[in-house]
Structure 1
Amino acid sequence: MSFLKSLFGRRAAREESPAPDPAHAQDYKGFVIRAAPFKNEGQFQTAGSIEKEIDGVKHEHKFLRADRHTSFEDAVSFSLGKGRQIIDEQGERIFR
């Protein structure tokens, strides 16, 4: 049913999520990871951003994953972990 709703434009807008909180940011290996999960279909979707200043220029990489969580706190924790994993695997290449 949700497929038909989205196909015909009747899908409801994303549900409200708590406002971004500086406590949901983490410094890691010279990068700043910001968890930004949002509520989607009754659960919280894993999302966030990774930032780093290189040669005086601020770079940002946003990420969104399919993982969903029942609580906002779990989604924040998982999003920060996912950000650390991305940094460990790709480093500054994420900004290319």
Structure 2
Amino acid sequence: MGILSSLKGLFAGTESAPEKAEDTVEYKGFSIIPAPMKDGGQYRVAASITKGEGDELKTHNFIRSDLMPNRDECIEITLRKAKLTIDQLGDTIFN
């Protein structure tokens, strides 16, 4: 049953589950919350970008194909890519 459990976990996405979210970084009125995902001994670039509060809160989650060898490097790359996305797309990121 170990093999079946492993296959089920692979297809259910548990192999790439997000770890504890990091502290929020404010950037140009947006909030970036890095959420590196452990993936086979490496970390996948992932984050949530939010703007607004309460009923006006908008969220965009992204997961990139980029894999980093350690968590700190992954967070650094995640923040760089999130800021670039905000610079390029601004509020249209939520469309």
Length-normalised TM-score, structure 1: 0.78
Counterparts of 2:81 and 2:42, CA distance in 1: 18
Alignment partner, residue 20 of structure 1: 21
Q: Which protein is richer in helix relative to its size?
A: 2
Q: CA shift at 1:54, angstroms?
A: 7.1
Counterparts of 2:9 and 2:34, CA distance in 1: 29
Q: CA shift at 1:41, angstroms?
A: 1.4
SS at the partner of 2:10?
coil
Which digits, 9 at most, give the CA deviation of each residue in 1:40-78, with x for residues without a partner? 111100000110017950000001111100100000111
Q: Which protein is richer in strand relative to its size?
A: 1
SS at the partner of 1:89?
helix
Alignment partner, residue 34 of structure 1: 33
Counterparts of 1:58 and 1:19, CA distance in 2: 21
| Unmatched tracts of structure 2, length 5 or more | none
Alignment partner, residue 85 of structure 1: 84
1:49 aligns with 2:48: yes
Counterparts of 1:69 and 1:50, CA distance in 2: 20
SS at the partner of 2:57?
strand
Length-normalised TM-score, structure 2: 0.79
Alignment root-mean-square deviation, CA: 2.6
**May I ask how many residue pairs the two structures share in their alignment?**
88
